[in-house]
Chains A and B, each alone.
Chain A
């Protein structure tokens, strides 16, 4: 750039300054308004959306699908699309280092690449067009980042569409634009603008098709207990499922009964002071995660082949601490289910599910000896088991399930001396209010949701009772 151009630019700026404004207060006023708006927006976002809770980091859980912060998603997606290219796609560093490196390099050197002093849009069609295509591409890559390049059924169709919108169209369009500027110099501005518009619109359309064809996957929400009460409740549910068989529902068992292979094994009651006062939280964590193989306790942590995550084991130790350790003050725990009013019908979602989780699922789940009767979902409770047809009969008090939870064992009809099903739960009878929940539920037709149950709610009116 020669001195004359510089002088011209400076003189031009001088003229703009003369008909301009003052930095204070004119410019600062606008800045303050925008900053204030951003502050209000931040407070609103923090208050009403907040930060979604996540489970604790678990290096042993390799099944976790990593997702970067949203502003890196487009690079992730670009890597996935690039990986589809034959031969070149196998050379990873081209996509991870070379291409981003070149992009950042060009962006940094923009003032030295575009050296002409022209500033008006009409004279800068090429750089503006390239930038628009890049930005549209990055936005679309971010939006389609959820869609895998290989669908669940193995089809690569969506992957191909994504490479068309994310790689082929932008590359072709940018090459065409560069050729138009430097090789076919006669190309009109209008053609270049249309090329950009066409490329952007077709990228948007193809990505739209990708999003429309992508089956909405139900995101599996991992439950994260954030408050102490939630953590204790979650811990108690997990304890009920994984530990009660051997340790009892209050941790007081000293001699194991009724567990195959461990019958008669003597153990220290885990709710005793000896255990709680001498074992720290982290030691307790390790015992649950690694187990006590020599004493017959299997590992429960994922790192050692169990099924519990770090957060889940943490909840269990929190539960034991707050409920059994007398140095800790237990907060008020929510009841397992809301108490039933007269005539109210319990539902699976609100009443049966938490009860089953607390008292039944420990044995009634896959891999345990339970006459194939599973209780982890609504369907399972109603349809599984060797005696499924007699187990739950709508409106019938002789349903097997109701019999056994009320301390009546079912005798084998072919061999009246043998128990077909013993009383349940085997060690300790359910409390009357829990039994009442099951009775009302089965007598009134086993509603699943709270709405279905509410529809069955009959208020005991005086007339109804008085009617003959």
Chain B
């Protein structure tokens, strides 16, 4: 019975091909440092899942953002756990992505034929920082408000176009409801969509070229 179901699915999905092409591939002898990439992916998925749960109660308006986060922490069953994981996941993700970058740099894994994988990787690193920056404002507490005030001010110090960047980020000359709204939008739609797309390309390139081997004296 199960065999028949499997065969039916295989005919249509090509499960066997997937197995041979994706999973049953040869790899150079692995190293624990090589797990940091998959750890970053795992953290991205965790952030996505906990983030989706948080949007159920979170309200992106200056009048309600703070109270809705309070409610998540006190009123919602296991809300504190979901928010706690999301909060610490952000810290760990930045850390893990950064160490992953260092690992690739020190083992020179970015060299031929993996240059493009590195470029995409830098994009992923910057976007992870962008997620951290936009997510920091959302609880709408003192820390968030003033850190974002200063952060956007720094972006505003760019010569000539600084004024424009500042207004584009804040949605006006000052931090307001618009700022919160667009940071929220960037945090839950724009950046994650870009991140997911880039992660897709990153993974495709890794499967295409295989994981790099640990360099020895020969290399």
Contacts and interface: CB of A to CB of B under 8 A. Distances in A.
Interface in A30-48: 30-31, 33-35, 38-39, 41-43, 45-47
Q: Is the interface of B mostly helix, strand, loop or mixed?
A: helix
Interface in B43-65: 43, 46, 62-63
Interface in A251-299: 282
B196 interface: no
Interface in A18-33: 18-24, 26-28, 30-31, 33
A104 B142 contact: no
A15 B101 CA distance: 26
A17 B210 contact: yes
Interface string B169-204: 000001100000000000000000000000000000
Contacts of B80: 46, 50-51
A97 B157 contact: yes
A118 B28 contact: no
Interface string B90-121: 11101110100010011111111111001100
A16 B218 CA distance: 12
Contacts of B149: 66
A392 B35 CA distance: 69
Contacts of A282: 63
Contact of A120 (B66, B88, B216): B216
A26 B84 contact: no
Contact of B118 (A13, A46, A110): A110
B52 to A, nearest CB: 16
B15 interface: no
Interface residues of B, number: 87
Given A27-B30, A111-B118, A46 B215 contact: no
A15 to B, nearest CB: 9
Interface string A86-107: 0000001100110000001001
Contacts of B36: 34
A27 B110 contact: no
B145 interface: yes
B29 A20 contact: yes
Nearest to B110: A111
A21 B27 contact: yes
A228 B73 CA distance: 12
A411 interface: no
A79 B155 CA distance: 13
7 contacts: A24-B24, A27-B211, A51-B73, A93-B157, A108-B122, A111-B110, A227-B74
